[in-house]
Amino acid sequence: MVAALAGFSTGLSLIIAIGAQNAFVLRQGLRRSHVLWVVLICAFSDALLISLGVLGLGVAISSLPWLIELFRYGGAAYLLWFAVQAARRSLKPGVLEESSENAESLKAVVLTTLAITYLNPHVYIDTVLLLGSIANQFATPWLFVLGAALGSFVWFFALGFGARQLGRYVKSPRFWRYLDAFIALVMIAIAVLLLTYRF
């Protein structure tokens, strides 16, 4: 039980900070666009990566610095592209429409969610390396993994579906202008961090 609670609290503390993934989940939640798919992909991805860390993938990644570099530049390029798209939307803001669930194709949303999740080296540092190594300090590492995975599910479902409580704001073009501008800045900041951070 101690391992599960430690996993839950540690996992939550790492994913709650606003980052590219959280900003994207928030935006999809506000738009009510394929939210269930987005939160499931994010939560299951965390569970998968933490499990791989327990199984020793963290050691393999640490011994392949070129792999981290590949994710670094690929992730930064994708985040900058996403930032440009968000900046363009902020210049011509729209409003939430009743048909917004179908405004974006499921394929496009799924691919973007996967890219934002798996092209960010910090995801591997937080889940595979950090959480995986912490889990292995416990006599029952899989209970830690279970707790951390539960934390991810709670957070992403709360963020994705809780965003709908802001419904009165989403019909204002000004709201979308500020949100997309904020998302663009977050994406740019994370991309710059990826390019300058020494792993």
Q: Which of 110, 6, 133 is closest to 61 using CA atoms?
A: 133
Token reading at 82: 């996403």
C-beta of residue 12 within 8 angstroms of C-beta of residue 157: no
Residue 27 predicted with pLDDT over 80: yes
C-beta of residue 129 within 8 angstroms of C-beta of residue 61: yes
Q: Which of 150, 156, 164 is closest to 42 using CA atoms?
A: 156
Number of Cα atoms under 13 Å in the Cβ half of residue 160: 23
Record the pTM: 0.71
Token reading at 154: 């709670």
pLDDT in tens, 41-70: 999 998 898 888 888 766 666 677 776 677
Predicted confidence at residue 98, as pLDDT, reads 42
Dihedral pair phi/psi, residue 172, rounded to 5°: -100, 125
Range of the domain at 32: 2-196
Residue 1 predicted with pLDDT over 60: yes
Angle of the 20-31 helix axis to the 141-162 helix axis, nearest 10: 40
Provide the number of structural domains found in the chain. Answer: 1
